């Protein structure tokens, strides 16, 4: 299985089309919407996790979206949680739109599931101890 988080930006001319659903129908891709803000005839964005049986099928689906006028990009950063400074206060849970942060009970421990993270960065802004942070996924150029 091949899976990757993708950021889609929809211009107004295609915002009303069900393009993401076509990924399943035409290319046998599975999509999981992590975050979205799209309204009819207005531009919008969607952060999705796309999963396919092969990288070739994934690439065909992404090409289809681009051919339809959708801007496709990939997160340049990832969120991390510094376990040493986290006080498990729960502030981050209240703002996480994808449930990537949740409370493990009965321990009352904050758990971070990076696979569900849409990299919205709201947890970084909310964390009083700055246990949530951002690091670049881009390789350094020598």
CA distance 103 to 109: 6
On whether both 129 and 90 belong to a single domain, the answer is yes
Both 58 and 93 in a single domain?
Answer: no
What are the percentages of helix, strand and coil residues in the chain, rounded to 5?
Answer: 25, 35, 40
* Average pLDDT of the residues of the chain: 86
Domain end marker among 46, 73, 100 = 73
pTM: 0.59
* pLDDT above 80: residue 52: yes
Q: Do 87 and 28 fall into the same domain?
A: no
Query: Is 51 within a domain?
Result: yes
CATH of the domain at 91: 3.30.70.20
- Which residues have CB under 8 Å from 111's CB, separation 6+? 101, 102, 103, 104
More confident residue, 82 or 135: 82
Sign of CA dihedral 120, 117, 132, 75: negative
Which CATH number belongs to the domain containing residue 32 in this structure?
3.30.70.260
Whether residue 91 sits in one domain with residue 44? no
> Domain limits at 126?
77-136
Q: Tens digits of per-residue pLDDT, 71-128?
A: 888 877 788 899 999 999 999 999 998 889 999 999 999 999 987 887 888 899 999 9
């Amino acid at each position: 299985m091949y899976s990757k988080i993708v950021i889609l930006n929809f211009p107004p001319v295609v915002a009303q089309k069900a393009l993401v659903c076509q990924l399943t129908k035409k290319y046998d891709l599975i999509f999981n919407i992590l975050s979205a803000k799209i309204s009819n005839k207005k531009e919008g964005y969607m952060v999705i996790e796309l999963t396919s049986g092969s990288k070739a099928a994934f690439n065909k689906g992404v090409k289809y979206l681009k051919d339809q006028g959708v801007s496709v990009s990939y997160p340049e950063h990832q969120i991390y949680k510094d376990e040493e400074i986290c006080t498990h206060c729960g502030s981050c849970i209240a703002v996480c739109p994808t449930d990537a942060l949740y409370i493990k009970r009965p321990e009352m421990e904050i758990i971070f599931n990076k696979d569900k993270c849409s990299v919205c960065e709201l947890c970084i802004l909310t964390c009083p101890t700055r246990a949530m942070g951002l690091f670049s996924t881009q390789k350094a150029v020598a």
